[in-house]
Homo-oligomer: A and B are copies of this chain.
Amino acid sequence: MVPWTGLSKPHVVIIGGGFGGLYAARALKRAPVTVTLLDRRNHHVFQPLLYQVATAALSPGDIASPIRWILRKQPNVDVLLAEAIGVDLARRAVILTDGEVAYDYLIVAAGATHAYFGHDEWRPLAPGLKSLEDALHIRRRVLLAFERAERESDAARRAALLTFVVIGGGPTGVEMAGALAEISRESLARNFRHFDPGSARIILLEGGPHLLTAFPESLRAFALADLRDLGVDVRLNSIVTGIAPGLVTIGADSIAAETVLWAAGVAASPLGRSLGVPLDRAGRVRVEPELTVPGHREVFVIGDLASLDDQDGRPLPGVAQVAIQMGQHAVKNILRARDRQPLQPFAYKNLGNMATIGRASAIADFGSFKLTGYLAWLAWLFVHLLNLIGFRNRLVVLVQWAWAYITYQRAIRLITGDRADT
């Protein structure tokens, strides 16, 4: 290991190369510090488009970039492929699976994972979507279900193979359900000989009374109507009580479905627990308004791992914008701390909220004005292209979207990886 201690400049360690960690590293570009960014993956993933990888519209390489490539022009940043398993606050060291790294300032941006509300046995039956591997796994399961339907002569078993249940009516669940409807109704047309892919059932289950609770009522209503137009069977107030192979149970009802996808809950990274500070119910670290950990003004927790209320007392949502702004704010506070100035509280500036519903339709809430349908979809397209990292990714994604828009096709319909593991 390269020795990290004894450096003359303060050493800022960042755990995680997601939105929070990456924008923190970028904000340190001209700062007189040395930076080490750790991630257990070598790439940053543009999570808002992960569902498009899962639904065969984009390749993994289109929405991901190597972290060290993104930061190659920042000579003060070291990028290390390493897995952090704990933080020793007293010794100011990050514990890795294979060593440790000392810090003067620490930014923990380790993100979140899926939560199955105490039903961890559902995990293999209803995969969630957080990483590229998750997306490829979901893509494989969805495409294999259609392949198996082609070889299935029993009508009931075929119907179960052609039933897709998405659990959770947030943006990811809505986007997945819309994309699945598009795949079955449009992209797969004429591809099969022994059944009509358009006969596939897409069922979206939401435990509460509304989809997309983060949006105002008028936009929610639009999204619900649009999803139903696409042929998605949206069931509100439907709390899943059981998942077994081929069967989803909702109280007294059940659905025979071979493919079940999980978009219902997130839990904070287990790294939060290792800090030994108060957590909220989802395992997130209750940070001070300055984003620091209680009693440790040199340790910042940001993004999905941080629990903090906004100015109106509502918890900040787990979205990219919050993570990015927190990363930039943590850096400002680190530079203030170094200059022995008081730290400043974080104030979230909501730049807007969007979700796509399917082909050429979306909702967008920019506070003072709201968009629905085609215009919202154009805004969604523009914002996402602009925020993708790297010119090449923007160009390739634009080409793929243009092609998909014109042809109604999904290009990346590859079943790769071990077929036995589905």
Contacts and interface: CB of A to CB of B under 8 A. Distances in A.
Interface of A: 1-2, 41-43, 59-62, 64-66, 68-69, 72-73, 75, 78-82, 132-133, 136, 143-144, 147, 150-151, 153, 190-194, 390-393, 395-396, 399-400, 403, 407, 409, 411-417
**Total identical chains:** 2
Contact of A413 (B69, B153, B190, B192): B69
Given A80-B150, A151-B81, A414 B190 contact: no
B392 A400 contact: yes
B395 A399 contact: yes
Contacts of A150: 79-81
Contact of A193 (B78, B133, B400, B413): B78
A241 to B, nearest CB: 33
B416 A133 contact: yes
A393 B412 CA distance: 10
Contact of A409 (B75, B78, B392): B392
A43 B396 contact: no
A124 to B, nearest CB: 16
A136 B190 CA distance: 31
Nearest to A77: B193
Contacts of A414: 42-43, 60-61, 64, 66, 132
A57 to B, nearest CB: 10
Nearest to A59: B59
A203 B136 CA distance: 34
A147 B396 contact: no
Contacts of A400: 392, 396
A5 to B, nearest CB: 14
Given A66-B413, A72-B190, A81-B147, 6 more contacts: A42-B414, A43-B414, A59-B61, A60-B412, A60-B414, A133-B416
Given A61-B412, A411-B392, A80 B417 contact: no
A303 B88 CA distance: 61
A412 B391 CA distance: 13
A407 B82 CA distance: 28
A277 B167 CA distance: 54
Contacts of A409: 69, 392
A64 B143 CA distance: 15
A396 B72 CA distance: 25
Contacts of A65: 411
Contact of A151 (B80, B132, B151, B412): B80
Nearest to A75: B193
B61 A153 contact: no
The 3 closest A-B pairs by CB, nearest first: A59-B59, A61-B412, A81-B147
B60 A416 contact: yes
Nearest to A69: B191
A167 to B, nearest CB: 25
Contacts of A390: 411
A153 B61 CA distance: 31
30 contacts: A1-B151, A1-B153, A41-B415, A42-B413, A43-B413, A43-B414, A43-B415, A59-B60, A59-B61, A59-B62, A60-B414, A60-B416, A61-B412, A61-B414, A65-B411, A66-B414, A69-B191, A81-B144, A81-B150, A81-B415, A132-B414, A132-B416, A133-B416, A390-B411, A392-B399, A392-B400, A392-B409, A393-B411, A396-B396, A399-B399
